Chains A and B, each alone.
Chain A
Amino acid sequence: MPLVLPLLLAVVLFCLGVYGVLARRNAVTILMSLELMLNAVNLNLIAFDAWRLDGLATGQTLAVFVITLAAAEIGLGLAIVLLLFRGHGHVDADAARDLAEADEREESPT
């Protein structure tokens, strides 16, 4: 198997994740796109592990660690999203402007 096959798949998945993070409005879908990007990284790690074969299973161990990190990240992220929903009644990432610069237009429906 050529090494570029998994690498190109990872590139495509990562860029779809980038598109999702930039273009989506709902905060939960932004988190889903983040998961796509983390999966692309995992695919890279597994592919390079199968290429190097260093005997320590470095890439696979790191992939398991990244999966654990993703679980921690989605837990915290969804807690923040639920807090946003309780405070504002929506999860629109564009309308949540509580931390915006003071001189920008105020449109946060508190």
Chain B
Amino acid sequence: MTTALFAVAAVVAVVSAVLVVTSRRIVHAALWLVVTLGAVAGCFGALHAEFVALVQILVYVGAIVVLVLFALMLTKAPTNPLPTLTTARSPFAAAVAGVLALLLGTGVVIAFGKEKIKPVPAGDAETVGTAIFKTWVLPFEVLSVLLLAALIGAIALSQRKSGES
């Protein structure tokens, strides 16, 4: 049952990810990114990581895609199809990505081809929260400092005059 759910979400994720990287309209690519991230959240749910799936929907779909759409709006991204959105070296890029996929795929199949996973309900907010605040407290605090640094950096970048850059 979970395997079937996971397979459906995986197919949706792959198809929409292909559209994200090949769509000629930038805004459509950003909206396909929503579908991809939602499908990946569905994969997390099928693997019984419900808390991570909810965080994924909240942070990625709710915040990051909205930020990306804002950036597209502020950079005056055109809504009509742009043939120049992908560079002329895209066949080379496709070859690199294909060879990488082949290498990683064979490596993964050779290393883990016979392993099975049996997802158990171990991914609710209580389990993950206990793990974060018991075992992983120090990385959590470091992460909050990093978020503060990113915040200050973004403010400092956006406060610069355009002439002094």
Let me know if B119 and A1 touch, CB within 8 A.
Answer: yes
Most-contacted residue by chain A among B49, B51, B101 (CB, 10 A): B49
State how many residues of chain B have any CB contact under 8 Å with chain A.
Answer: 89
What 0/1 readout, one digit per residue, does chain B (7-44) give for beta carbons within 8 Å of chain A?
A: 10010011001101100001001100100110010011
Within B136-165, the residues touching A (CB, 8 Å) are 136, 139-140, 143, 146-147, 150-151, 153-154, 157-158, 160, 162, 165
Residue from B2, B56, B89, B146 within 8 A of A22 (CB atoms): B89
The residues of A with any CB-CB pair to B shorter than 8 Å are 1-9, 11-20, 22-26, 28-29, 31-33, 35-36, 39, 42-43, 46-47, 49-51, 53, 56-58, 60-61, 63-65, 67-76, 78-83, 85-87, 91, 94
Most-contacted residue by chain B among A14, A29, A73 (CB, 10 A): A29
Let me know if B55 and A5 touch, CB within 8 A.
Answer: no
Please report the C-alpha to C-alpha distance between residue A95 and residue B86 in the assembled complex, in whole angstroms: 13
- Please give me the residue from chain A that is nearest to B76 by CB atom: A85
- Please give me the residue from chain A that is nearest to B110 by CB atom: A4
